[in-house]
Amino acid sequence: MKKGFLFVLALLVSSGVFAQEEKVFITGFEDTEELTGTWTWTGGAFKESFVDYPTNPKPVEGDAALIVSYDNAGSEWQYGTLNLAIPPVNLTGMREIHMSVYFTPESTGDFAIRFDLPNGNILGFDYVSKVGEWEELVYKIDRKTSAASFMSEISSFYGFICPTPGTAKGEAWIDNIYAVRPANIPAEIEEVLVYGFNEADPTTKAPTGWSKSAEESYMPEMLTELMGDTITPTEGTDAMVMHPYSSYVLNIQTTDALKAFNRWAEVIEIQFDVRIPESVPGSWLQSRLVLRSGITGSTDFDVSEDTKEIGYADATSDWKTLLWEVDMTNHISNIKDPNGWFEVVISTNNDASADGFDVFIDNFRVTVPKVTDVNDWSLF
């Protein structure tokens, strides 16, 4: 019995300590005394939105649903705002937002909804598999965003409904929006600095461990070489500068990530600090990570996975931390192979007028579950 007990404890220790699930119901669009306004998802392609009581099919929760009529009218990517007709909700600590969606049979488009939080926090896209049925969409919230001060008073959401193609039009029903903190979120984690960008490669002059991407973008530079001591790094004595192209591009990448860090298989988050010296031309600037791995000498095992984009056009007066949750499952076999390789690529996406703009990056770190040594436990 003691042996079995120790085995269970070892599993708990190796996988981290997990908390209980928490859930916050946001709305089912019912008419209640809590209503303070009118439910609307407006802007861009949204021609009208209103609460209705459909009977075929019935709403997922209660009797009401939000009906949103959309028509791209030839123009893609039309942004809109969903204003809450209830008092602001406190979503602090929540890690997912769920909502049920039904596209009517005559609807057209990619049947995708992008859901965003305030302050440029893009939760990304989720898709329904077919029209004419209710499906639950799930949007992940990273750890730093879930703890941000604005999460205590959420009064609106943002995003696109069927952003492509330009001819997309139809009707989407939305119901049963709620937030959740799943029980499988590790309660104890540790952040590990992987790149401080404090030294330059003597050959390329780029920060050690980094280079322009294989897709031929600008070579990254050292912050002090470009800006002197006018910008204070968030870690160490220096930082990295990357330069966006005139549109979306895979910008810069690691040169030997497996040499820089030996626990990539355990990583659950990647984050770094970012800042820009002034307002970005075109007013918008976003980045995503691309994680790539393979085995030297063969392309049979190559894996490439994209994360969501995060915006940081607001990071003009201070550093802003960008954090991505990652799943390393598909890369583990490549990472552990003696001839395996792994790399992290940072993209930029911006208006053409921002070509060559300066973006400062520092304090590149990863998050891994905190593992307690069983030898440190006094079990008996």
169-194: per-residue pLDDT in tens?
999 999 999 999 988 776 688 999 99
**Same fold for the pair 13-181 and 189-369:** yes
Sorting pLDDT into bands at 50, 70 and 90, what band is 372?
Answer: low
CA distances in angstroms from 340 to 259, 267, 355, listed in the order given:
11, 17, 34
- pLDDT recorded at residue 61: 94
How far is residue 358's CA from residue 40's CA, in Å, rounded to a whole number? 38
The distance of Cα 315 from the centroid of its chain, to the nearest Å, equals: 17
Mean of pLDDT over the chain: 89
First to last CA, the chain: 13
Residue 13, token pair as written in the block: 């220790």
Residue 231, classed as helix, strand or coil, is coil
Give me the mean pLDDT over the 67-96 stretch: 92
Q: Average the pLDDT over each of 20-34, 111-125, 132-146 and give the range with the smallest value.
A: 20-34
Residue 377's pLDDT is: 39
- Statement: residue 199 has pLDDT above 50: yes
Residue 372's contacts (CB-CB under 8 Å, 6 or more residues apart) are 13, 188
Radius of gyration of the chain (CA): 23
Confirm if 280 and 357 have CB atoms less than 8 A apart: yes
Residue type at 156 in one-letter notation: S
What mean pLDDT do residues 294-319 have?
Answer: 94
Structure-model confidence comparison of residues 76 and 223, the more confident one? 223
Q: Does domain 13-181 have CATH number 2.60.120.260?
A: yes
Q: Where are the domains of the chain?
A: 13-181, 189-369
Cα–Cα distance between 264 and 279 in angstroms, integer? 35
Residues 6+ positions from 133 with CB-CB distance below 8 Å: 57, 102
At 162 the pLDDT is 92
In this structure, are residues 218 and 243 in contact, taking their beta carbons and an 8 Å threshold?
yes
**Domain 189-369: homologous superfamily in CATH:** Galactose-binding domain-like (2.60.120.260)
pLDDT surpassing 50 at residue 14: no
Q: Which bin fits 75, alpha (ψ -120 to 50), beta or left (φ > 0)?
A: beta
Q: What percent of the chain has pLDDT over 70?
A: 90
Lowest-confidence region among 6-15, 186-195, 285-294, 299-308: 6-15
